[in-house]
Amino acid sequence: MKLVASLGTSPGGILETFEYLRRNGVEINDIEVVKTKDNAVSKAYDYLLSMFSCCIKLSYNDVIMGTLELPFSDITTSDDLNEMMKLVEPIINEGDYVDITGGRKAISMVMGLVAMKKKAHVITTIVPQSKYNEVQEKLKKGHQLVTENCSPSDKDFFCSLLTKDAVTIEINLE
């Protein structure tokens, strides 16, 4: 089953959602990241790749990660939203999980609407504000990215960006 997730400037949320779902018996084995070309988002994406290699791939070796890069650096018009919708629609299938936590509200709204149309699950992960701030501070300081093997200190750093205190909820109105 697939997890389709929008990425903002916070790299960890997508993987916290993934871990939450797996811990709760949802067999996600494909993560699709939806991102703009924005610099801060691309930086978060680079960290996400290192976190995926050092923290996720070692525990869940059946999971792959792919990317849908939107053809702009930010949403500025309704046309951008329509263009985005046409790109996102083919990658979401019935029963998939669509995480709208990352990125601009307009992106989340469009992804949520497409997911509902496709009978996918719309979900969002709530990260405590204190953890969010801690991660942003660590990102400011920075760390060498991992492209090949993770050293124990890489693993320490990148896994510390993830929290087990995140809660994923489904947006499923009565």
Residues of this chain that interact with a second copy (CB under 8 A) are: 40, 74-78, 81-82, 85, 100-101, 104-106, 108-110, 112-113, 122, 124, 126, 129, 167, 169-174
Give whichever of 54 and 107 is closer to a second copy, judged by the CB atom. Answer: 107
**What's the closest the beta carbon of residue 81 comes to a second copy, in angstroms?**
6
Is the distance from CB of 68 to CB of 32 less than 8 angstroms? yes
**What's the closest the beta carbon of residue 97 comes to a second copy, in angstroms?**
14
C-beta neighbour count of 119 within 10 angstroms: 11
**What's the closest the beta carbon of residue 64 comes to a second copy, in angstroms?**
25
**Distance from C-alpha of 44 to C-alpha of 12, rounded to nearest angstrom:** 8
**What's the closest the beta carbon of residue 106 comes to a second copy, in angstroms?**
5
Give whichever of 41 and 51 is closer to a second copy, judged by the CB atom. Answer: 41
Residues 6+ apart with CB under 8 A from 82: none
Give whichever of 4 and 75 is closer to a second copy, judged by the CB atom. Answer: 75
What single DSSP character describes residue 149?
P
Give whichever of 50 and 168 is closer to a second copy, judged by the CB atom. Answer: 168
Tell me whether strands 167-170 and 121-126 are parallel, antiparallel or unpaired. antiparallel
**Distance from C-alpha of 72 to C-alpha of 52, rounded to nearest angstrom:** 25
